Amino acid sequence: MAIEKKVAFITGGNRGIGLETARQLGKQGVKVVIGSRDLEKGKAVAEKLRADGADVDVIRFDITKPADYQEAHNYFEKNFGKLDILINNAGISKESFFANNTSTVSKAILRETFDTNFFGTVELTQVLLPLIRKAPEGRIVNLSSILGSLTLHADPKSPIYGSKALAYDASKSALNAFTVHLAAELKDTKIKVNSAHPGWVKTEMGTDAAPMEIPDGAKTSVQLALLPATGPTGGYFHMGEPLPW
């Protein structure tokens, strides 16, 4: 008897860490659906992944457009009747990570950052959760950052103490709170919810100054997406190691 494929949805999956996550999950036999704001760009990368043997589709999806949440739900309901893995990968940063402008950051940047990194992610997850509940063992991975750690930000000796960008950092701290709260709500189910710190990666956001290559940056998301039944939930991880909240 054939085992039904797991189905994964990756927001912002047409480039960077999201694209590499799609590639690695595809190699693990997962059916991957990429959410891309630019459908043509998404189709182009999906074609390349399929050429490498991955089972990949793409849908037009913009985390800043609430109407897209229900469209995504309808797509998965119609085509699969479930969603095994949701990787909330889409995110933005509008600030410098090396200049602490907390006293002057604009309301516009705060709101835009939170709308994408937190509010949109929460609302999308709420819309898709009924389909995740239909999967045998659902997995939700929230792409956070070590910069969301309040513990490390408060410690002058920590490696991130000098890197403070209020809107981005606070949005990731809020996302971590969502992880903890949703995991607690779903603790009696087979769904696992975790936050991932991919690392400082050579992407458009991370810049070429980052020490990590993109393939390594996707590893934490993939690990959490494929957790066994005995795996953790409600945690905050990088490469299998827990991070302080």
Residue 200 has a pLDDT of 62
Residue 158 has a pLDDT of 94
Domains held by the chain: number: 1
Confidence of residue 104 (pLDDT cuts 50, 70, 90): very high
Residue 214 has a pLDDT of 72
3-state secondary structure of 95: coil
Report the distance separating Cα 195 and Cα 220, nearest Å: 9
In a domain, 92, yes or no: yes
In a domain, 16, yes or no: yes
Q: What percent of the chain has pLDDT over 90?
A: 87
Q: What is the pLDDT of residues 57-87, one digit of tens each?
A: 999 999 999 999 999 999 999 999 999 999 9
Residue 2 has a pLDDT of 44
**If you write DSSP's letter for every residue of 130-172 in order, what string do you get?**
HHHHTSSS-EEEEE--GGG-HHHHT-TTSTTTT---HHHHHHH
What is the domain extent for residue 54? Answer: 7-242
Report the distance separating Cα 146 and Cα 204, nearest Å: 18
Q: What percent of the chain has pLDDT over 70?
A: 93
Residue 211 has a pLDDT of 46
Q: Read off the CATH number of the domain in which 115 is found.
A: 3.40.50.720
Residue 202 has a pLDDT of 43
Residue 205 has a pLDDT of 53
Residue 208 has a pLDDT of 56
Strand partners, 143: 196
Confidence of residue 201 (pLDDT cuts 50, 70, 90): low
Residue 212 has a pLDDT of 54
The bridge status of strand 241-242 relative to strand 235-238 is antiparallel
Across the range 169-184, mean pLDDT stands at 98
Whether residue 59 contacts residue 35, with contact meaning beta carbons closer than 8 Å, is answered with yes
In a domain, 231, yes or no: yes
Q: pTM score, two decimals?
A: 0.94
In a domain, 2, yes or no: no
| 210 compared with 13, residue with greater pLDDT | 13
Across the range 80-96, mean pLDDT stands at 96
Strand partners, 7: 31
Q: Which sequence positions are flagged as catalytic?
A: 168
**If you write DSSP's letter for every residue of 32-43 in order, what string do you get?**
EEEEESSHHHHH
In a domain, 1, yes or no: no
In a domain, 174, yes or no: yes
Across the range 173-191, mean pLDDT stands at 98
Residues in Cβ contact with 171 at an 8 Å cutoff, skipping those fewer than 6 apart: 91, 113, 114, 116, 117, 118, 148
In a domain, 49, yes or no: yes
Q: What is the pLDDT of residues 112-126, one digit of tens each?
A: 999 999 999 999 999
